[in-house]
Amino acid sequence: MDNITYPHITEYIESLVGETGLGHLEKYAEENSVPIIQKDALGLLLFMVGMKRPKRLLELGTAIGYSAIAMALESPHTMITTVDLNAGMKERAEENIRHAGLSDRIEVVLSDCMDFLKGDHDKFDMVFIDARKSHYMEYLELSLPLLNEDGLIIVDNVLFRGLVPDGEEFPRKYRATVSTLREFTRTVSEREDLSSAIIPIGDGVAFIRRKPNV
Ligand SMILES: C[S@@+](CC[C@H](N)C(=O)[O-])C[C@H]1O[C@@H](n2cnc3c(N)ncnc32)[C@H](O)[C@@H]1O
């Protein structure tokens, strides 16, 4: 993964985050090229989850269950619904969740995120968006109605490999992702009804909430 900031800063922050207790999942992800949240960004995500202690948390993009397990361990009363369209990932995630003893608090749903978001659901206190980057605008629009009034949306990869700032050159294959993320970051910062912050950690993390009474 390309760094969006200085490698020695990332390494230093990751060393401070230290052992997650999920080294076996980090090793599996590395060996099998499964994209999981970077450890420095995980530290920030867990801080927010621990501070907010959401009752119901929705994660878009499960992979092997790494971030879902880490969030469940950080906040012992949080119920997590995590969505992935890859049946192999769902199976692997469920096995990892079972091993972690968290099957009663993490539900893995096999679905395209868009289909899931269009369904009927109780509201969530937090949404962590980490699925297909070229669909981030739709995920945002569809997540907002599912969010409690003081809910928080956290989005990973919003600075995607450092290619999102205007003027960066990038390979053709990244065109849809980069243009969506440019639109996404501009939109969340310009929308009157939203308050947002982007942190250059990991692959870029955005915090988004609805402004009260707008
Ligand atoms: C970056 S990984 C998630 C990593 C995980 N959140 C973690 O940090 O441990 C993204 C996942 O999103 C899933 N995905 C991609 N597009 C999707 C879609 N349209 N609907 C549901 N899942 C999708 C992929 O199968 C992949 O497992």
Q: What is the CATH number of the domain that holds 175?
A: 3.40.50.150
Q: Please indicate, yes or no, if residue 2 is contained in any of the structural domains.
A: no
Q: Please indicate, yes or no, if residue 151 is contained in any of the structural domains.
A: yes
Q: Please indicate, yes or no, if residue 38 is contained in any of the structural domains.
A: yes
Is 106:69 a contact under the CB 8 Å cutoff? yes
Expressed in angstroms and rounded, the spacing between residue 52 Cα and the centre of ligand 1 is: 23
Q: Please indicate, yes or no, if residue 150 is contained in any of the structural domains.
A: yes
- Least Cα distance to 115 among 135, 134, 92 occurs for 135
Expressed in angstroms and rounded, the spacing between residue 36 Cα and the centre of ligand 1 is: 9
Can you give the pLDDT at residue 143?
98
67: annotated binding-site residue?
A: yes
- pLDDT by position in tens, the chain (length 214): 567 888 999 888 888 888 889 999 999 999 999 999 999 999 999 999 999 999 999 999 999 999 999 999 999 999 999 999 999 999 999 999 999 999 999 999 999 999 999 999 999 999 999 999 999 999 999 999 999 999 999 999 999 999 998 777 788 899 889 999 999 999 999 999 999 999 999 999 999 999 987 6
Element (H, E) at 117: helix 113-118
Expressed in angstroms and rounded, the spacing between residue 130 Cα and the centre of ligand 1 is: 6
Give the pairing of strands 79-84 and 147-156.
Answer: unpaired
Q: Whose CA is nearest to atom 19 of ligand 1?
A: 112
Domain that holds residue 54: 7-210
Q: Please indicate, yes or no, if residue 1 is contained in any of the structural domains.
A: no
Residues with CB under 6 A from ligand 1: 35-37, 61-63, 66-67, 83-86, 89, 112-113, 130-132, 135
- Least Cα distance to 63 among 41, 48, 31, 85 occurs for 85
Q: Please indicate, yes or no, if residue 48 is contained in any of the structural domains.
A: yes
Residues 120, 11: Cα–Cα separation, whole Å? 42
* β-pair partners for 153: 127, 208
Cα–Cα distances (Å) from 208 to 8, 138, 141, 166, in that order, read: 28, 15, 12, 21
Query: How many structural domains is the chain composed of?
Result: 1
Q: Please indicate, yes or no, if residue 84 is contained in any of the structural domains.
A: yes
Q: Please indicate, yes or no, if residue 94 is contained in any of the structural domains.
A: yes
- Three-state helix/strand/coil letters over 62-76: CCCCHHHHHHHHHCC
Expressed in angstroms and rounded, the spacing between residue 133 Cα and the centre of ligand 1 is: 9
Which of 24, 26, 36, 84 gets mutated to test ligand 1 (max ligand atoms within 8 A of its CB)? 84
